[in-house]
Amino acid sequence: MSFEGVVIQLLQPYFFYSAVFLIASFVCIKIFTRFCSVISEKTKSLLYLVPLIIPLVVMFVFLPSTTFQTSVVDVKTIASINMGGPISPLAASVILVTVSHITTLSITGILCLIGLAMGAVFALTMVIADDRIARRILRVIPLSADEQPWLQAAIAESSKKIGLTCPKIGIVEDLRPNAFTIGYGHRAAIVFSIGLLNLLDKEEITAVALHELAHVKHRDFFFKTLTSALTAISFFNPIAFITASTAQRQREMFADEGAITLLDRPSALSSALTKICNSIKTLPETSMFTMASTSLLVTSSILYRSDILAMHPRLDKRLGNISKQKTRIRLNNKTIIHAILLSVILITSFAVTSYTIVELQQSCYASNQGLKEPVDYKPLEVIISGKISNTMVTSQDSPVLANAQVRNENMSLHQNVNRPPFELNTFYLQSSPEISCHKYHYAGPGSSFVVGSF
């Protein structure tokens, strides 16, 4: 594939707009959440859904296709006519303009369709059978009524306080300290690893349990399923994975805040998180299979990864967020004005950037299709031929072309150009000497051609 072919593939609107607008919106929201201190963790997490939703909207507006057409215009001078005398020489050219349509396999369109299919299948699978799949793959063992009775009693009491049906409780035989939530509604379950139960004291285990209970209350199963499905749609864009991870980190901060409201001593959660992070550093790294299955199947795993795709914030950020809950920033005129000004600046910047992106895409797409206007030609007669069946031809300057006529290949049909639109398979344009230069459009894939005379 030539360089021009690669550029045309990348400039297909359903691919180009979905990728670039996701990046631009992510940058704007990242700046907004970084410098606007008055918005909550819940609001921040919802804002990060916007960049992930944009590609889906783009693909509904510009439906992906497995093929696309490019138009190639070839202009050749085939004859020269001398119409003047020795005193006032006058010459004209006859040029052949060939318009051909080439159907090309759209690799970027196939990628978009694959992403849409993966997102739909993943979302449907998670809603129907997530808890059953997670139990089988992660080997979750349900607790019986006589196992860990104090923990079951604490979760049941806290569930009652916040108006939730008490979720099921399970364990996994893993020495790594971990806890996570699977399923939703009456199928929800909070799972603890043996390593976590051995590492923490009862108060700290209760704090972790309340953190997971907050995930159930906040319906984070659906949030995680939605972000994962939207990320699958844009799987070809690395920024989509970064956006989803950032959104999930905000939900973790939101769950910490939910747990604090139920704890008599919020420092118990800080202590538990510190012990877990310190313990993980001394243990072997988690296998890729465990990481992948945990990322896809569970709502929240407390295991921490220190990279850009981590689902949990850094320990220092979580501890800072827990400690400042008692001194929340209060709204005042200054903070409100700051938030409004920042919003206006970022929205304006995004609008200007979007307009520039659209103009750039259209300009680059047209220039890479070989659609160039031959401004140096001044023909007396222009012959236009090629595969233009069922093509609608219109003129932007029809009043000027009152003397020009169009006729078909066997010259049996004449039709005035200033009465658009009309249809011809192969046609000739015969111009009078008074016409200077005129531009015509036809209903191909956004192409155009120029004809003219002296």
Q: What pLDDT does residue 5 have?
A: 78
Closest CA to 125 of 137, 143, 141: 137
Beta bridge partners of 104: 68
Q: Based on the fold, state whether residues 235 and 278 are members of the same structural domain.
A: yes
Has residue 123 been placed in a domain? no
Residue pLDDT tens, the chain, 454 long: 677 778 888 888 999 999 999 999 999 999 999 988 788 899 999 999 999 999 999 999 999 989 887 766 566 655 554 544 554 444 444 555 565 667 888 999 999 999 999 999 999 999 998 888 888 888 999 998 888 899 999 899 989 988 899 999 999 998 888 899 999 988 999 999 999 999 999 999 999 999 999 999 999 999 999 999 999 999 999 999 999 999 999 999 999 999 998 888 888 999 999 999 888 878 776 666 566 656 655 665 555 555 677 888 888 888 888 888 655 556 677 778 888 898 999 999 999 999 998 888 888 776 665 443 333 333 333 333 333 333 333 333 333 233 333 333 333 323 333 333 333 333 333 333 333 333 333 333 333 333 333 2
Range of the domain at 159: 130-327
Identify whether the C-beta of residue 255 lies closer than 8 Å to the C-beta of residue 137.
no
- SS3 assignment for 424-452: CCCEEEECCCCCCEEEEEECCCCCEEEEE
Beta bridge partners of 97: 75, 384
Residue type, 150: W
Question: How many angstroms separate the CA atoms of 40 and 331, rounded?
Answer: 12
Q: Of the candidates 367, 390, 415, which is a domain's last residue?
A: 367
Q: Based on the fold, state whether residues 381 and 431 are members of the same structural domain.
A: yes
Q: Based on the fold, state whether residues 383 and 353 are members of the same structural domain.
A: no
- Which residue bears the tokens 């979720």? 167
Q: What pLDDT does residue 234 have?
A: 95
Q: Please count the structural domains in the chain.
A: 3
Read off the pTM.
0.74
Question: How many angstroms separate the CA atoms of 313 and 304, rounded?
Answer: 8
Beta bridge partners of 301: 180
Identify whether the C-beta of residue 80 lies closer than 8 Å to the C-beta of residue 91.
yes
H or E element that contains 393: strand 392-395
Q: What string of DSSP letters covers 147-195?
A: SSHHHHHHHHHHHHHTT-PPPEEEEE--SS--EEEES-GGG-EEEEEHH
Has residue 119 been placed in a domain? no
Q: Of the candidates 317, 347, 367, which is a domain's last residue?
A: 367
Dihedral sign, Cα of residue 274, residue 276, residue 279, residue 281: negative
- Which residue bears the tokens 């349900």? 142
Question: How many angstroms separate the CA atoms of 107 and 12, rounded?
Answer: 10
Identify whether the C-beta of residue 155 lies closer than 8 Å to the C-beta of residue 170.
no
Q: Based on the fold, state whether residues 207 and 286 are members of the same structural domain.
A: yes
Closest CA to 138 of 130, 126, 146, 127: 130
Q: What pLDDT does residue 347 have?
A: 92
Has residue 136 been placed in a domain? yes
Q: Based on the fold, state whether residues 159 and 245 are members of the same structural domain.
A: yes
How far are the Cα atoms of 43, 98, 438 from residue 386, in angstroms, in the given order?
Answer: 57, 5, 20
Question: How many angstroms separate the CA atoms of 419 and 424, rounded?
Answer: 14
Q: Based on the fold, state whether residues 189 and 295 are members of the same structural domain.
A: yes
Q: Which CATH number fits the domain that encloses residue 320?
A: 3.30.2010.10
Q: What pLDDT does residue 402 have?
A: 30
Q: What pLDDT does residue 304 have?
A: 52
Q: Based on the fold, state whether residues 159 and 263 are members of the same structural domain.
A: yes
Q: Based on the fold, state whether residues 282 and 361 are members of the same structural domain.
A: no
Has residue 116 been placed in a domain? no
Q: Based on the fold, state whether residues 216 and 239 are members of the same structural domain.
A: yes
Has residue 60 been placed in a domain? yes
Q: Based on the fold, state whether residues 283 and 348 are members of the same structural domain.
A: no
How far are the Cα atoms of 32, 76, 308, 376, 443 from residue 246, in angstroms, in the given order?
Answer: 14, 56, 9, 55, 44
Has residue 120 been placed in a domain? no
Question: How many angstroms separate the CA atoms of 400 and 396, rounded?
Answer: 9
Identify whether the C-beta of residue 212 lies closer than 8 Å to the C-beta of residue 312.
no
Has residue 30 been placed in a domain? yes
Q: Based on the fold, state whether residues 100 and 235 are members of the same structural domain.
A: no
Q: Based on the fold, state whether residues 232 and 320 are members of the same structural domain.
A: yes
